[in-house]
Amino acid sequence: MPADEKPKVTLDCLGLYCPEPVFRTRMELDRLNSGEVLEVLADDPAAVEDIGSLVKHLGHEILEFSKEGGVLRFLIRKK
């Protein structure tokens, strides 16, 4: 991963269920400056659609999404 895509913050939402992961992701994105990257870790299956919809609605960009075991990992760049 290029240095400019290194996460500024990692948000651990493991063990949390809807609506907490999307709510906390929104709060953390609001704290970041434009261009900074947020890493979100979640294990709620609904987070795939919820966080994806949030990012699209706010106009940010999902740089990377992966699922390893039951852990979902999002890299989101704030616009």
Catalytic residue among 7, 8, 18, 62: 18
Q: What is the DSSP letter of 49?
A: H
Listed in sequence order, the residues at least 6 apart from 41 whose beta carbon sits closer than 8 Å to its beta carbon are 10, 11, 12, 13, 14, 71, 72, 73
Is residue 18 flagged as an active site residue?
yes
Query: pLDDT tens, 7-66?
Result: 999 999 999 999 999 999 999 999 999 999 999 999 999 999 999 999 999 999 999 999
- The pTM (predicted TM-score) of the whole model is 0.93
Q: Which helix (H) or strand (E) holds 19?
A: none
Which domains are seen in the chain, by residue range? 3-77 (3.30.110.40)
Rounded Cα gap, residues 69 and 13, in angstroms: 15
Task: Quote the pLDDT of residue 1.
Answer: 47
